[in-house]
Structure 1
Amino acid sequence: MHGAGNDFIVFNGIDQDLSDISKAQWLALAHRQFGIGADQILLVENATRPDTDFRYRIFNADGGEVEQCGNGSRCFVRFVLEKGLSNKNSLRVEVAHTILTLKAHDDGQVEVDMGAPIFEHKLIPFHASGLASVQEFRETLYALPLTHPARHDSLVGVLSMGNPHAVQAVGDVDSAPVLEEGPEIESFAAFPNRVNVGYMQVISCNEIKLRVFERGAGETLACGTGACAAVVSGVRRGLLDSPVRVHTRGGDLKIAWDGIIDDVAQPVIMTGPAVTLFEGEISI
């Protein structure tokens, strides 16, 4: 399946037991030359809580398990409906550290309540000690002293959408040093769990272009949580007004965020496509 070009292998872990697959096996499955090939793998399982309908787990192309995946959540909805695993059109789903609410629309788009963004450093997690910072409207930007910076400006806004993100604004996303800087920022010491690296070009207050270097996967054609994080950071920087159309290299996403009301961060709502490409079987 794919969501705006971010592609996934989706396994039905309800009708078969896949609990003992190793990290090396996930990595082999995601390999584009010697496996099926994907940015991430989704494992759909039965819920473990009475207030949810399903649980799913997410494995990056490097075999490591991660907390959250926005484009994957939309593919999950399409998968369980197409497979007849549910006839409900508003689903509550467990992922690693949160619960998502998801709904399919008649036009093929899927709407996901991604929950509220997280700004507390220890929950991201992010260690800001020793880093220079500047305030831009309501956002604190941190300067990352990179070993080989491709540009002078490496100021990032840091937050979590269930997974950590570092977002920077660039003048031209097509010429941004995503592949040069991305790997270094992903593994920068201030991010103990590594980080997804977003490059955002503001076109207008309601429109951006975005490229994301995802931890464990490299640059992908789209990143749902990355789009959410970019819009949240842009709103806090005073650059964007909700809702925002996010142009990724794989397609468009719509992100809506009402900001912080009465000191409470509001949930981020993401809407975008989810498409099934093919089905098959593989012996593991």
Structure 2
Amino acid sequence: MTTPFRKMHGLGNDFVVLDARRGPLLDARAQPLAIMPAAAAAIADRHFGIGCDQFIVMEPGTDGADVFMRIRNPDGSEAGACGNATRCIAALVADEAGRDRVVVRTIAGDLPVERLPGGLWRADMGPARLGWQDVPLAREVDTLHVPLARGAVADPAACSMGNPHATFFVRDLDLVPVAEIGPGLEHDPIFPDRANIGFAQILSPEHMRLVIWERGAGITLACGSGACAAMVNAHRRGLTGRRATITMPGGDLRMEWREADGHVLMTGPVATAFTGTLDLSSFAG
């Protein structure tokens, strides 16, 4: 038995999306099949599977949410937030329902998303959490200046956007060996749950460049929650205002850290690359 899937992306940050809203996913014997971490990792593999930065399963929404979005990284670990996937799933649900606003639920909370002109979607990613326990960090330190360094990069700021983030601010992003230092930073003991690591170059108070080493995924073309964290951390450092365009390898996101309630708003496009079917039972091992 085969199962339909969609390959979607936001600025090249790509996802395999399965729909389990109308019933459980089934194996070849038509029996309910749970997507285990190993199976998600196998599907996410770009050589032996379909390939993606995150593996997404849509589940029924309840209590005011239109859909529940379950997120797994390419290593099979579960993630609490993914900004680009949030916009993609919201666009699917909104188009089905003929609406311009939906609520996407994740294990980290509810994320309202609305349609804007020009094919853009704005997601309310919720409040940035700034306490050291919230990130979390392994010990009590100032999250605005985390005592962490690798080579020429040092002194990141940290926060949680439903998942842990640290942002290093650098003079020239092109000189940072992200692929070399990213793994060690992700797994540094100061991050008990590992962390997404951002490297940001401030171009002006309204514009920055950003490259993200994603927890469990490596370098990706874009990272929505990483862009949220970079916006928050840059403003906390006095490097930007509360609004900025963040340019990543896959394109631009418009960001706002709203003063009234501390929520972070992210605006960007979504796209479907292709659709297909897969035999889930072949990935069960």
Instruction: With the length of structure 2 as denominator, give the TM-score of the two structures.
Output: 0.89
Q: Does 1:107 align with 2:112?
A: no
Please say if residues 244 and 256 of structure 1, whose CA atoms lie closer than 8 Å, have aligned partners that are also in contact.
yes
1:283 matched to which residue of 2? 279
Q: CA deviation at 1:171?
A: 0.9
Q: Is residue 70 from structure 1 mapped to residue 71 from structure 2 by the alignment?
A: no
Partner SS for 1:276: strand
1:236 partner amino acid: R
Which of 94, 98, 104 aligns to 2:109? It is 98
Q: Indicate yes or no: 2:38 matched with 1:24.
A: yes
User: In the TM superposition, what is the alpha-carbon distance from 1:271 to its structure 2 partner?
Assistant: 0.0
Q: Deviations over 1:213-239 (max 9, x none)?
A: 000000100000000100100001000
RMSD: 1.5
- SS at 1:239's partner residue? coil
Structure 1 contact 78–275 (Cα < 8 Å) conserved = no
- Return the offset for 1:162: 0.7
Indicate the residue corresponding to 2:144 in structure 1.
Answer: 140
Which residues of 2 match residues 1-284 of structure 1 at below 5 A? 1-18=8-25, 20-47=34-61, 49-82=62-95, 84=96, 86-129=97-140, 140-145=144-149, 149-151=150-152, 153-259=153-259, 266-284=262-280
**SS of the residue 1:114 aligns to:** strand
> What is the CA–CA distance in structure 2 between the aligned matches of 1:187 and 1:104, rounded to whole Å?
37
2:94–2:102 CA contact under 8 A, matched in 1: no
| Cα displacement (A) at 1:244 | 0.2
The letter for the 2-side match of 1:258 is R
- d(CA) in 2 for partners of 1:41, 1:106: 28
Please tell me whether the aligned partners of residues 128 and 263 of structure 2 are also in contact (alpha carbons under 8 angstroms): yes
User: Identity rate of aligned residues, in percent?
Assistant: 37
Deviations 1:168-212 (A, max 9, x none): 101111221211111011011111111000000000000000000
Q: Secondary structure at the match of 1:63?
A: coil
Bigger mean CA offset, 21-30 vs 172-181: 172-181
2:66/2:93 contact within 8 Å kept? no
Cα offset for 1:62?
A: 0.9
Alpha carbons 1:150, 1:177 under 8 Å: kept: no
Q: Deviations over 1:17-40 (max 9, x none)?
A: 136111111011000011110000
Q: Give the conservation status (yes or no) of the 8 Å contact 1:166–1:198.
A: yes
CA contact (8 A) 2:90 2:103 kept: no
Moved over 3 A (4+): none
Contact 2:125 2:263 in 1 (8 A): yes
Residues 184 and 23 of structure 1, relative CA distance in 2, 3 Å threshold: same
Which stretch of structure 1 is more off in the superposition, 180-189 or 193-202?
180-189
Residues 54 and 92 of structure 1 are in contact (CA less than 8 Å); yes or no, is this contact kept in structure 2? Answer: yes
State the match for 2:30 in structure 1.
Answer: none
How far is the alpha carbon of 1:79 from its aligned partner? Answer: 2.1
Residues in 2 aligned to 1:16 and 1:174: alpha-carbon distance in whole angstroms: 47
Q: Deviations over 1:45-89 (max 9, x none)?
A: 111x3222111110111111110001110111122234x2x2322
1:16 shift after superposition: 4.2
Residues 94 and 101 of structure 2 are in contact (CA less than 8 Å); yes or no, is this contact kept in structure 1?
Answer: no
TM-score, reference length from structure 1: 0.89
Question: Tell me, which stretches of 5 or more residues in structure 1 are unaligned?
Answer: 134-138
